[in-house]
Amino acid sequence: MTKHTARLRVRRGTADEPQPRYEEFALPFEPGTTVLDALIAIRRQQDPSLAIRYSCINANVCKECLIAIDGVIDYACTTRLRDDKVMTLEPLPGKPLLRDLVTEIRPPRERLK
């Protein structure tokens, strides 16, 4: 199979930082590779400090890997990589940011305990 190269522009930082920063990663991939596969590979091979969240008990059920992909909220576990452009990955908008792509996802009533 032909290897392709994905370019991912990932928003980095914490809620305490005044301005988010973006870091670009490039990695080879096979057709069918997901954004989540790429993020896991980046953590293992390029930058272990990258904060991501996933559970993957069953695709599209846990909602742990929801992020903004090119401005559209989608599952990292089912979105396929593309090699025709840089893909921008950002945390969920409107949710408190913890770090990088990880946001607070618990409903407000659960935080009251």
Where along the chain do its domains lie? 4-111
Q: What share of the chain is helix, strand, coil (3-state, %, to 5)?
A: 15, 35, 55
Residue 70 Cα distances to 11, 35, 73, 113, angstroms: 11, 12, 8, 35
Note the pTM of the prediction, 2 decimals.
0.87
CATH of domain 4-111: 3.10.20.30
In this prediction, residue 1 carries a pLDDT of 57
The reported pLDDT for the residue numbered 55 is 84
pLDDT tens digit sequence for 2-34: 689 999 999 999 989 888 899 999 999 999 999
Residue 76 Cα to chain centre, angstroms? 6
Q: What is the CA radius of gyration of the chain?
A: 14
pLDDT tens, 51-93?
Answer: 999 887 656 667 889 999 999 999 999 999 998 899 999 999 9
Predicted local confidence at residue 23, as pLDDT = 98
Distance, in Å, from the CA atom of 27 to the CA atom of 7, rounded to the nearest integer, reads: 7
pLDDT of residue 58: 58
